[in-house]
């Protein structure tokens, strides 16, 4: 059984959804690192101040067993899922002092063992010695469609063409940033979910997690 599982991939690939379900079925702790960057972005927006090392040093981000996100003691699980915060998350992730702070927190969480951690650089930077690395992806069109349907289900206004362009921009920003760019680890298992259901992706993660070979 793989005790530390890293799931990387581009925005909208479904990492959080499937990782959370797989963690629950394995009895593991789920750690959404993207939510941590979103929390930093939300902090900047709420404070109305430029991002700084002082702000990051003093920020308090916590994730509970139900994957709720707390920023300075307040539940911001819903607030961090807006398009504005999503764009901001990619911006703050460019800064080395932000990544250093959050990477330290993420490694502390993983040290407890039996975790599934998802993000953009988990297998390449945060947990390079993870027992299992998965790179989950899907076509831009499919990722945009999923995001569009998610926003509509929540009653939010959504424009498919705009979402598609935002995802393309996010992919470009994530893959071209100087610090810890989005990349597939050499020993990662690629999983293309374009034509897979959530249950099928979860089943594949569980299969990979429970095989005896690393």
Q: How far apart are CA 67 and CA 31, in angstroms?
A: 7
Report the candidate in 137, 206, 133, 202 with the shortest Cα–Cα distance to residue 174: 137
pLDDT (tens, 9 = 90+) of the chain, 214 residues, equals 779 999 999 988 999 999 999 999 999 999 999 899 999 999 999 999 899 999 999 999 998 878 899 999 999 999 998 888 988 998 898 899 999 999 999 999 899 879 999 998 999 999 999 999 999 999 999 999 999 998 889 888 889 999 999 999 989 888 888 888 889 999 999 999 999 999 999 999 999 999 855 4
CATH number of 4-206: 3.40.50.300
What angle, rounded to 10 degrees, do the helices at 33-47 and 83-92 form?
A: 100
Q: How far apart are CA 199 and CA 195, in angstroms?
A: 12
Query: Quick one: the chain helix, strand, coil %, rounded to 5?
Result: 50, 15, 35
Map residue 36 onto helix, strand or coil.
helix
CB 122 within 8 A of CB 8: yes
Domain map of the chain by residue range?
A: 4-206
- What is this structure's pTM? 0.85
């Amino acid at each position: 059984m793989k005790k530390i599982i890293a799931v990387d991939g581009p925005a909208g690939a479904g990492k959080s959804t499937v990782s959370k379900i797989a963690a629950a079925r394995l009895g593991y702790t789920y750690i959404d690192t993207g939510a941590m960057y979103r929390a930093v972005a939300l902090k900047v927006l709420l404070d109305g101040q430029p991002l700084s090392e002082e702000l990051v040093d003093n920020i308090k981000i916590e994730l509970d067993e139900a994957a709720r996100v707390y920023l300075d003691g307040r539940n911001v699980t819903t607030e961090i899922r807006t398009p504005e915060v999503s764009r901001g998350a990619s911006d703050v992730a460019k800064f080395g002092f932000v990544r250093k702070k959050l990477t330290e927190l993420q490694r502390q969480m993983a040290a407890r063992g039996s975790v599934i951690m998802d993000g953009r650089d988990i297998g390449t930077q945060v947990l390079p010695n993870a027992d299992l690395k998965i790179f989950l992806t899907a076509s831009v069109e499919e990722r945009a469609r999923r995001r569009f349907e998610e926003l509509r289900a929540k009653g939010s206004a959504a424009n498919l063409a705009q979402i598609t362009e935002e995802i393309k921009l996010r992919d470009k920003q994530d893959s071209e940033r100087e610090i810890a760019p989005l990349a597939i680890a050499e020993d990662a298992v690629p999983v293309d979910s374009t034509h897979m259901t959530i249950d099928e992706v979860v089943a594949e993660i569980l299969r990979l997690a429970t095989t005896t070979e690393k």
